Amino acid sequence: MKRRSRGFLIGGLVVALVATLGGMEALPGRDPGRADQAAGSGKDDEGGLLSRLGDAARGLVDGGSGRARPEVVSAGLFRAEKPLQGREWPPQKRVRELPGERTANTKTFQLSDGRTQAEISSVPVHYQDAQGRWQAIDTTVRPTSEKGYVQGNRTNTFTSLFGDTSKDLVRFEAGGR
């Protein structure tokens, strides 16, 4: 079944390629300046199979033939319109971090000219504390007063505790588990 549909697909692509690039202009008696002229006949052939296939294939590649094209492209400019000269911003300094704008993967800073700048990380840089505020992750292991454990860290998205006996060598907690 897959080979059969692959054969139809390849056949359709070959026909479209021949119709588009097959050189309708290269045929004898064809005037390259006239798109409506049939190959060698001197008559109009707007409805011919090769002509329609070629127009359809060209329409797929260049956005359509003779149809109204949208004036705006993704950058917000008309295709022929040149972009405006960019403005060079003077170097800015970070004034302060905005802790209320934090997320697990972002830090937001206030710049000296009033704009904001965000640092986005692919890995978490903050964790939520018991009050729901975002705090900076710190992976430093420090002495702990947790019973049975001598070292630990609670400033991450999970808690890690390290014991001094093989019975309680290590413990990881996340979400109360």
Using CA atoms, how far apart are residues 163 and 177, in angstroms rounded to an integer?
18
Let me know: does 84 contact 72? Beta carbons within 8 Å: no
My answer on whether 121 and 142 are in the same domain is: no
Higher pLDDT, 146 or 70: 146
Q: How many domains does the chain have?
A: 3
My answer on whether 117 and 153 are in the same domain is: no
**The pLDDT of residue 157 is above 90:** no
Tens digits of residue pLDDT in 21-45 = 655 544 445 555 554 444 444 444 5
My answer on whether 56 and 9 are in the same domain is: yes
Using CA atoms, how far apart are residues 147 and 168, in angstroms rounded to an integer?
10
Write out the residue range of the structural domain in which residue 120 sits. 94-127
- DSSP lists the bridge partners of residue 151 as 143, 162
My answer on whether 54 and 105 are in the same domain is: no
The pTM assigned to this predicted structure is 0.46
Q: What H or E segment, with its residue span, contains residue 111?
A: strand 106-111
pLDDT score, position 136: 92
In a domain, 43, yes or no: yes
Assign 9 a pLDDT band (cuts: 50, 70, 90): confident
My answer on whether 142 and 112 are in the same domain is: no
My answer on whether 52 and 104 are in the same domain is: no
